[in-house]
Amino acid sequence: MQMLGGRSSSEGLANLPVPSSTVVILLLLLGFFMYDEEYVKSIAKFPLSSTSLSLSSTRSKTHGATPVGLQGEPPTNNNHLVHQQTSNTTEQKPSSPDVASYHDENEQLKVESPHEKCDIFTGEWVLDDATHPLYKEDECKFLSSQVTCLRNGRKDSLYQKWRWQPSHCSLPKFNATQLLEKLRNKRLMYVGDSLNRNQWESMVCMVQSVIPPDRRFMSMSGSSLVIFHVMDYNATIEYYWAPFLVESNSDNPRNHSLTNRIIKPGSIDKHAQYWKGVNFLIFNTYAWWMNSKTTKVLRGSFHEGSTTYDKIGRTTAYKRVLRTWAKWIEKNVDPSQTTVFFNSMSPVHGRSMDWNNPRGIKCFNETKPISNISTPLNVGTDRRLFAAARKTMQRMKIPVDFMDITTLSEYRKDAHTSLYTARKGKFTQKQMANPALYADCTHWCLPGLPDTWNELIFTRIVSRP
């Protein structure tokens, strides 16, 4: 196994990078916009059955969820997504909702978890093709075309085979059945921008192999909430679009690619009404803040058609949004019923000089993680926002698990979608010849890095009683 060194997540907080020019920022944002616009169209293409299904509970009715059609059958031998098995036994559909009827009776649901004081975010990347990837791209029908890099023409697949190894403990092997048992009669929801959506797609693929095809389906509630239903567990894995967490002019997932972004830092109820009663909430907000050094804050309200705004510093505005979010959490979350996570910043790899590759073009053609760096790594992540988020979590009355995915992700220059994403189909030859403009170095291929983020979430969830 090959290992690549990591560093403590606390290093580099003093580095306060500022974009060198507006042109660079716009180039980085182009791929981000293309990903988001096409994703909404892809939701309707998720592979589910055309027959409408419903949960035994009234949860779907409460959300007004509309089933999204499914098509196709998954491969008959899916067990390798969770367990290393050599059997080619065809997956058996249960005659009743009894979970045990379609799981190996010898399967062990208890796994050893790291000590709660172990820092699972400091460690190294280990090349491990025996256990990773956790699923195969062509065997998960729930992936959108924006993240299926192999299908979109990427030739190498090494990016799928790296495992995160903490320095002083080990992560438990991901077990889809154990996670679903923890989610029985519960809801798990990702809330935030397209990086959280990236992670949501990952989680759906990580669990889908142990669910018979006729016992799972996808639905939508309104335009912003997408729900993956696991019928036999009466569980859901959901994604809610809210790129700033608070109200903004980018809240419509079908029409949000705006360069003139405006937020209302004190207004959160429009989104937060959908978060009530969720058992596991996973929040993020970062990428949409990075198009400008300043943030436009609305005077008045969007409902009244106000267009006047003030410009304030990015960090100041970010802190205001976090205060609004924290107040809502403290007022509305019962920690005995709901566990709250907050993902730190997902990095962008838009400057190849950051890893000593002067001839490189952003993340294009990068096939291995960053290694052999003698100084603290700096790929342009705004660590001021990182520090603001962590400080907010530390001060809150309700416990929030701050998931420091930033540092471990900064080493993964190889894992982005780059030119192997899709917008209205694959890129043209002319576009492929211009990676400086078209390479998406914000989002991640799947299988890939977001699977590791979910392994960390899994570790936290199964470690709790």
pTM here is: 0.81
SS3 sequence of 69-136 = CCCCCCCCCCHHHCCCCCCCCCCCCCCCCCHHHHCCCCCCCCCCCCCCCCCCCCEEEEECCCCCCCCC
List the structure tokens of 14. 């003093």
With cut-offs at 50, 70 and 90, classify the pLDDT of residue 262.
very high
pLDDT over 70 (residue 38): no
List the structure tokens of 421. 């994403």
With cut-offs at 50, 70 and 90, classify the pLDDT of residue 74.
very low
* Residue 146 amino acid letter: Q
The catalytic position among 36, 251, 440, 451 is 440
Measured distance CA(216)–CA(96) in Å, rounded: 14
pLDDT over 50 (residue 68): no
Mean pLDDT, residues 269-279: 97
The catalytic position among 113, 194, 209, 346 is 194
Confidence at residue 25, expressed as pLDDT on a 0 to 100 scale: 46
Mean pLDDT, residues 447-452: 98
Q: Is 271 a catalytic residue?
A: no
- Based on its alpha-carbon atoms, the radius of gyration of the chain, rounded to whole angstroms, reads 21
State pLDDT tens for residues 282-329: 999 999 999 999 999 999 888 888 889 999 999 999 999 999 999 999
Measured on CA atoms in the order 281, 144, 32, 458, is the torsion positive or negative?
Answer: positive
Confidence at residue 85, expressed as pLDDT on a 0 to 100 scale: 34
pLDDT over 60 (residue 95): no
- Of 8 and 274, the one with more pLDDT: 274
Measured on CA atoms in the order 371, 374, 379, 384, is the torsion positive or negative?
Answer: positive
Highest mean pLDDT among 62-66, 76-80, 94-98, 206-210: 206-210
Measured distance CA(207)–CA(203) in Å, rounded: 6
Confidence at residue 94, expressed as pLDDT on a 0 to 100 scale: 34
State pLDDT tens for residues 222-240: 889 999 999 999 999 999 9
Confidence at residue 65, expressed as pLDDT on a 0 to 100 scale: 52
With cut-offs at 50, 70 and 90, classify the pLDDT of residue 2.
low
The catalytic position among 9, 271, 443, 451 is 443
Q: Is 156 a catalytic residue?
A: no
Window from 4-13, 260-269, 282-291 with minimum mean pLDDT: 4-13
Annotated domain spans of the chain? 112-463
Q: Is 401 a catalytic residue?
A: no
